[in-house]
Amino acid sequence: MRIDVDADRCCGAGQCVLTAPEVFDQREDDGTVVLLAAEPAPDQANGAREAAAMCPAGAIAVHEDG
């Protein structure tokens, strides 16, 4: 699994950080998403998927290995 974020689309809602804090953070100045783990560990994968699904701006993309 690989995660990409589009910081330009991010609206700073913070749901990703609440859902998967080991994968995402937010910049202090404007709340924009910061990707901490572009290739999350297997035990972080479900949280990363959930965070992407609930992102209101669609700023998180999940690419599954395949």
The domain spans of the chain are 2-63
pTM reported for the whole predicted model: 0.94
CA-CA distance, 15 to 64, in Å (whole number)? 21
Query: What's the residue count for the chain?
Result: 66
Do 55 and 15 form a contact (C-beta atoms < 8 A)? yes
Which pLDDT does position 66 carry in this prediction? 65
CA-CA distance, 29 to 43, in Å (whole number)? 30
Which pLDDT tens digit goes with each residue over 3-49? 999 999 999 999 999 999 999 999 999 999 999 999 999 999 999 99
Sign of the alpha-carbon dihedral angle for 55, 59, 65, 66? positive
| Helical spans, DSSP H, in the chain | 15-19, 45-54
CATH of domain 2-63: 3.30.70.20
